[in-house]
Structure 1
Amino acid sequence: MNTYLFDDRRIDWQTLEGFEHLRYFILNIDTDANIVDVLFKFAAGQQIVLHRHKAPNHIFVIQGEHRIYHADGTLKEIRPVGSYTVSPASEVPHREGGGDIDVILLFSIRSTGVLYDILDNDTNVIGSLAMSDFVALHQAQSGQTG
C-alpha cells in the first residue's frame, strides 16, 4: 500500500501551552453559524490530553491514522486516512493520537459555549475550551488584537 503524505509545510502550526503532542491551525470561525473549522496534528505514537467533546465534531482524516483511546489509555478505535466521522457531544472521556506517522485531521466543531472539557488522569475537569477561546486563538494566530 502506498502512503501519501499531506504537504503541511506552509501551515503555520500553533501550539497550546500544556497540550503535548498537539498542534493546530484554525482555518475559519463562523460565529453566526457557530462553526469552528480547525486542523489538528497529533504526534505519531503519542496521546494527547484526556478530554471530552461537549459539542458535535465532524472529523476528516487527511493523513495517517486517527487513534482514539479510552480514558485508561487503551486503544478503542482506529480511523484510517480518508475516513469521515460525525461524533456527537459525549460525556465519555477519551484521548486521541497518531499512528505510525503524525495524523492530520480536519475538525468542524458545531456549537456555542464550551466545546471541550480538559480532564486530569482521574477524569476531573481542569479546564475547558469554549467558542470564545477559539475566537481568541484565531485572532492571535492571524496577528489580530482584541
Structure 2
Amino acid sequence: METESYLQLETDRLHQLLVLHWQGFVPSEVYREGLLEGIQISRREGLHNWIMDMKQMKVIRQADQEWTLATWFPQFQLLGVNRLAFIVSDDIFNQMAVSSMVATLRPQFRAEVEYFQELASAIRWAQENNGGFSTFGRLSVK
C-alpha cells in the first residue's frame, strides 16, 4: 500500500514538534500505522508538540475512531505531549469525527488542544513554548 500518498510526517527537533499531514480517504491500515508511527517517532525523538494537519483528509471510519479512542489515545497520553493542534479538514464528515473524538477525550487530555484553519498558525502556536523557527526534517511512514 502506498502510504506516502496518504500521510507524510515532519519533525522539528528544536521545537520538539511532529506534524502529520493527512490526505484523502485514508485506509484503516494506513491510518492506524501512521498514528502508531507518530508515537514511535515522538518517543524516540522526544517530540512533545503535535500538529494533525487534516486539511485535505476525508472522513475517518467509525471503526478507526473507536480504535483511536481505545487503543491509540492511551499510548499518546504516555508521551507527555504539551500541545496538540488540529488543522481543520475541508471535509465536514472529518470535522464531525475529529470534534466527536476530541469532545470524548477532552476531560482526559493533558495537552493543550487547539484548532486552526492553516498550518502556519498552528506551527507558530506549537513553537511558542520552545521559541523561534527551524527547518523541518521530512519523514515518511513505511
TM-score (norm: length of structure 1): 0.28
* Greater relative contact order (Cα < 8 A, sep 6+): 2
Structure with greater helix share of residues: 2
Say which one has the larger Rg. Answer: 1
